Amino acid sequence: MSKDKLWWLAKILEGIGMVIVLLGVFVSMSAGFEGRGLESMAYEFQGLFVGGGLFLVGVLIERSIGAR
């Protein structure tokens, strides 16, 4: 695969990862406002884990092609 396509793939993964982190935070906040504290924390950690993982994969792809 060419460097340009890998760079775009990395950026897409990073973007999707950040969106998932934000969704996890917003869902966590709405659950917290409804008084579901532990469930709220679970949503936040899941969002951080999945979104952070995708972001990290994107960064590693970028580093592997020398773009970062």
The 10s digit of each residue's pLDDT in 12-63 is 999 999 999 999 999 999 998 988 888 889 999 999 999 999 999 999 999 9
In this prediction, residue 39 carries a pLDDT of 86
In this prediction, residue 38 carries a pLDDT of 87
Diameter of the chain measured on Cα atoms: 50
Instruction: Report CA 49 to chain centroid distance, whole Å.
Output: 7
The 10s digit of each residue's pLDDT in 31-44 is 989 888 888 899 99
Q: Does 67 score more than 90 pLDDT?
A: no
| H or E segment and range at residue 2 | none
Which pTM value belongs to this model?
Answer: 0.85
Region for residue 66 given its phi and psi (left: phi exceeds 0; alpha: psi -120 to 50; beta: otherwise): left
Amino acid at residue number 57: V
